[in-house]
Structure 1
Amino acid sequence: MLPFILHALAALILTLLTQIGGVAYLFALAAARICGLGRFPAKLALFLLCYAAATVATQFAAPAFGRVPLSCLSSAEDRLIVRSPIYCALNRNYVTPKLRDLAEALAAHMDAQFPGTVTFALDANFPFVNGFPLLPHLSHADGKKLDFAYYYKDAGGAFLNDATPSPIGYFAFEEPGLGDELPCAGRHDWLTTRWNFDALQPLFPAYRIEEQRTAAAVAWLTTEGVTRFGLQKIFIEPHLKNALGITDAHVRFQGCRAARHDDHLHIQIE
């Protein structure tokens, strides 16, 4: 009974993390039994092979379900780059074709206005099934949501292209200053993903958000993004919105139960 529970738990965890990993795990488990594989290294190798095959097959199957992958295979000429291979390895890089076109158009605009600028995409969505949660996000479940990294500068004010303080683009927060708007001050919600990760902050380099490029990206999203691609919302922390001088109604606060958005920018389309 215990082995069954452990296998079921492993399949569940892999499904929650990757959507297709649980199926690959069960297939590998059955194949290992048929082939008489008993050693853990052999079983692990078989699972990794099955998972890799399923991941490749998913790239061809997902368009039939209305989603396409943002590529992790970038060249020196590419200006839209998925920040970390982990997003592709976990199948978290899928969007609708319209959202992919928006992301590519934003990156092209930023490159045209600020030559050479790289735009980083972060978490997107899983490849299949509307409503399937992309944990820990509350809304990335239909192919119409995508996170971008902010643009950064070093402590001396020099723009840092192709760099973010966190290697995955998340959890390195732009902390509010004295007197900044703090909509969640004094709240102690139990059910929340608004985690501060205080212990991690000293580990990140002292980068700051590069205001000119970040404001330009938001300006494009709230104009061209709305009219051409049906952008509905952008989530940014209020203190950043104020610091960047943003007043457009499409830019909103995500609420106190959702993750902080002073480490990344969230967009969603119709």
Structure 2
Amino acid sequence: MTLKGALLGLALAYGTLWGGAQVLAPAFGRVPIPCTGEPLRMQSPLFCATLRNFVTPELRALARDAAATVAAQYPGTVTLALDGNLPVFDGVPLIPHLSHDDGEKLDFAFYYMDDTGTYLPGRTASPIGYFAFERVGTDVCGDTAGPMRWEMRWFEPLTRDLALEPARTAALVRALLDDPRSGKLFLEPPLAQALGLDHPRLRFAGCGAARHDDHIHLEL
């Protein structure tokens, strides 16, 4: 087989897998977060290409409603989703997220602004939406951090020098938490305090889990 033939075969296999996932996902109780459009879409086409943008219908509706709420408060706002779940049955984790295994978890990117304070629609400090840690205040874990609490210092040169846009980020967190369909939301305590956020369902994931000062984690 020639290289061209092999590549064509791989492309056809991938296309079949991707298309089949779109058709079969509803049978597993999964629907996709849109890859394009406003006010809610995935942060990058990569999430869609790798089938990481699936959630339950209830969670998608919650995410859409929260994005619409923020856009109503701040016209032109685009809310970017990150990892959701795979379009398969419950119990299959979305590596490296061990908890993203039932369609009821979804991560959101922060909103960002430039050095003049101008909001940047559809832009994130990290090219993948993760690992651009805010590192506000003192690390609550210190020497007690577990192996999953990655610092990712090596990734910092790949991030953009953008500032977190606090008003929109706080508005999204409030919209998600105020929705009765939400279960809990993870955010690092120093960042939550800096944003003026306090809610019974706002939680700290713990020192044994991943950091949550680079993204928002929501669960039904």
Q: Give TM class, smaller chain.
A: over 0.9
What is the DSSP-based 3-state SS (H/G/I as helix, E as strand, rest coil) of the residue aligned with 1:160?
Answer: coil
Cα separation, 1, equivalents of 2:136 and 2:195: 13
What is the DSSP-based 3-state SS (H/G/I as helix, E as strand, rest coil) of the residue aligned with 1:241?
Answer: helix
1:186 corresponds to: 143
**RMSD across aligned C-alpha pairs, in angstroms?**
1.4
Task: Give the structure with the larger helix fraction.
Answer: 1
What is the DSSP-based 3-state SS (H/G/I as helix, E as strand, rest coil) of the residue aligned with 2:71?
Answer: helix
Q: What are structure 2's unaligned runs of at least 5 residues? A: none
Contact 1:234–1:265 (CA under 8 A) maintained in structure 2: yes
How is 1:1-270 mapped onto 2 (pairs within 5 angstroms)? Answer: 38-72=1-35, 74-75=36-37, 78-177=38-137, 180=138, 182-187=139-144, 189=146, 192-223=147-178, 225-226=179-180, 230-269=181-220
Cα separation, 2, equivalents of 1:128 and 1:255: 28
Q: Where does structure 1 differ by over 3 angstroms across 4 or more consecutive aligned residues?
A: 38-41
| Aligned residue type for 1:183 | V
What is the DSSP-based 3-state SS (H/G/I as helix, E as strand, rest coil) of the residue aligned with 1:143?
Answer: coil
| Aligned residue type for 2:8 | A
Contact 2:47–2:82 (CA under 8 A) maintained in structure 1: yes
- Pairwise CA distance, 1:40: 4.5
Contact 2:33–2:53 (CA under 8 A) maintained in structure 1: yes
C-alpha distance after superposition, 1:182-214 (max 9, x if no partner): 22111253xx22211112223322212111111
More displaced 10-residue stretch of structure 1: 51-60 or 138-147: 51-60
| Aligned residue type for 1:219 | R
1:13 corresponds to: none
Cα separation, 2, equivalents of 1:118 and 1:241: 21
When Rg is computed on C-alpha atoms for both structures, the one with the higher figure is 1
Q: Which has the higher contact order (CA 8 A, sep 6+)?
A: 2
Q: Normalising by structure 2, report the TM-score.
A: 0.94
C-alpha distance after superposition, 1:25-47 (max 9, x if no partner): xxxxxxxxxxxxx3454233212
Q: Normalising by structure 1, report the TM-score.
A: 0.78
Contact 1:193–1:258 (CA under 8 A) maintained in structure 2: yes
- What is the aligned length? 220
Cα separation, 2, equivalents of 1:188 and 1:123: 23
More displaced 10-residue stretch of structure 1: 136-145 or 53-62: 53-62
Cα separation, 2, equivalents of 1:187 and 1:263: 20
| Aligned residue type for 1:145 | K
Cα separation, 2, equivalents of 1:68 and 1:102: 13
Cα separation, 1, equivalents of 2:153 and 2:73: 36
Cα separation, 2, equivalents of 1:105 and 1:81: 13
C-alpha distance after superposition, 1:212-239 (max 9, x if no partner): 111111111121x22xxx2111000111
* Identical amino acids, percent of aligned pairs: 47
Q: What are structure 1's unaligned runs of at least 5 residues? A: 1-37
Q: 1:173 to 1:188 in 2, by over 3 A?
A: closer
